[in-house]
Amino acid sequence: MGTAFAIVLVFVGCCCNVVSLELLVRQFPGCGNIVTFAQFLFIALEGFIFETKFGTKKPAIPIRNYVIMVTMFFTVSVINNYALNFNIAMPLHMIFRSGSLIANMILGIIILKKRYTASKYLSIALISAGIFICTIMSAKQVNVATEGSEEQGFYPLIHWLIGIAMLTFALLMSARMGIFQETLYKQYGKHSKEALFYNHCLPLPGFLLLCTDIYNHAVHFSHSTPTVVPVVGGTMPILWLYLLINVITQYVCIRGVFILTTECASLTVTLVVTLRKFLSLIISIMYFQNPFTTWHWVGTAVVFLGTLLYTEVLSSVWAALRGPGGKAKKAE
């Protein structure tokens, strides 16, 4: 029951989160900072009340380690959202972030001296190829959209390339954070809810550096068209409603993933998150009519095939299908 409930939370929460984020980004492409701040503030308040019991519960992992982790987490979150300011389409944003396995493997080899099987290297090659195809096709769309003088076409492309560089940096930083978390959990044990709280609470002072941008967008949000709030019945600016939905669904998604990590094997968690990304991508393309060519579909299929190969889902399914037959032969 817990597993099924968690899977529902992940799919419903994350898919609704993508819709609300797309609605915000379409009206204000530069709203990434206020979205990130709202998400961090909400999760930090929830954790302060229910995890730390209003600050009375001491952390199991030393604060100095959380400071290092939080610095990386804050950087990744802000850069990922801020990259949307650089003409990065939501489908490409989601596909690019699906390449986290590549970064994890590269840094695992360099830092942890890990070695992998041939199937793992093949899966990484597929994921890399899929992301490369989607990125190149998106670059062509940027060029087509800015046809005209050389100056008109050059600067939007440079603007877009900066966004790609930001996503790449965030991908590598996220992988490095994962390795750091892995070493911490081995030393102190797993404390996921505690880590969730500190990862969202400690970075809050960092948003002072972005306070002007956050304030300006808050003013824009307040001047948006009033709309009726479902169930409650009152009215509020529509962009604040979209932000509220985004924050709540982000929390629902994160809570669902946390429940899954305690109920299921890591392989199951990875598969659920991968399928969720695919569904989010389909929603972004179909509902919002985002440009998506045949080559984008090819790239997406290759990315998800590589992901399934890496997590050994395909081999596990094949083994499960052959299992009864194999046991029957042994019985004979």
Q: What is the pLDDT of residue 67?
A: 92
Positions in the chain whose pLDDT score sits under 70? 1-2, 98, 101, 135, 138-153, 261-262, 265-268, 270-271, 274, 313-314, 323-332
Residue 302 and residue 129 in contact, taking contact as beta carbons nearer than 8 Å:
yes
- Among the listed residues 15, 4, 24, 9, the one whose alpha carbon sits nearest the alpha carbon of residue 237: 24
Q: What is the pLDDT of residue 44?
A: 94
Q: pTM of the full predicted structure?
A: 0.72
What is the domain partition of the chain in residue ranges? Answer: 3-141+156-321
Q: What is the pLDDT of residue 201?
A: 93
Q: What is the pLDDT of residue 329?
A: 47
Cα 211 to chain center, whole Å?
A: 24
Q: What is the pLDDT of residue 64?
A: 92
DSSP 58-92: PPSS-HHHHHHHHHHHHHHHHHHHHGGGGT--HHH
Q: What is the pLDDT of residue 328?
A: 46
CA end-to-end span of the chain, whole Å? 37
Q: What is the pLDDT of residue 236?
A: 93
Cα 47 to chain center, whole Å?
A: 20
- 3-class state of residue 228 by DSSP: strand
